[in-house]
Copies of this chain bind each other. A is one copy, B any other.
Amino acid sequence: MDYHAINLSEKLSKFSERWSPKVIGEMNEYQFKLVKILGDFVWHSHKETDEVFIVLDGEMVIAFRDGEVRLSKGEMYVIPKGVEHKPYAKKECHIMLVEPKGLVNTGETTSELTAENNVWI
């Protein structure tokens, strides 16, 4: 049988939209999504789940109501469920998210940045 690796760079080369998560893999009820980000996202939280950010290229910041964490290439962070956060990046940054299938990117916040869900590349 043929088995094919999921190549992150190759997948990243397939899209240019920002703040628009693309699914590249599924593990049980979780998904791995690539996102290109630039500028400010909206404040939001996911009351039902933790969420993992892994920076593949560039730098980003995740703001919390009482602080922030800076993430560079090769760094990750687990946002605890229910915690309000706002990601932003001064220059385009490429990240991988790990989160439950069906999770809305803007959580409990309605926004023009709310993206279509379950888009595979």
Contact = CB atoms under 8 A, between A and B. Distances in A.
A74 B30 contact: no
Count chain B CB atoms within 10 A of each CB in A2, A50, A66, A68 and give the residue with the most: A50
Nearest to A50: B27
Interface string A84-121: 00000000000000111000000000000000000000
Contacts of A49: 27-28
A3 B52 contact: no
Interface of A: 1-9, 24-28, 30, 32, 49-52, 56, 62, 64, 66-72, 74-78, 81, 98-100
A28 to B, nearest CB: 5
A5 B66 contact: no
B26 A78 contact: yes
A77 B30 contact: no
Contacts of A69: 3-5
Contacts of A81: 28
A75 B3 contact: no
A21 to B, nearest CB: 16
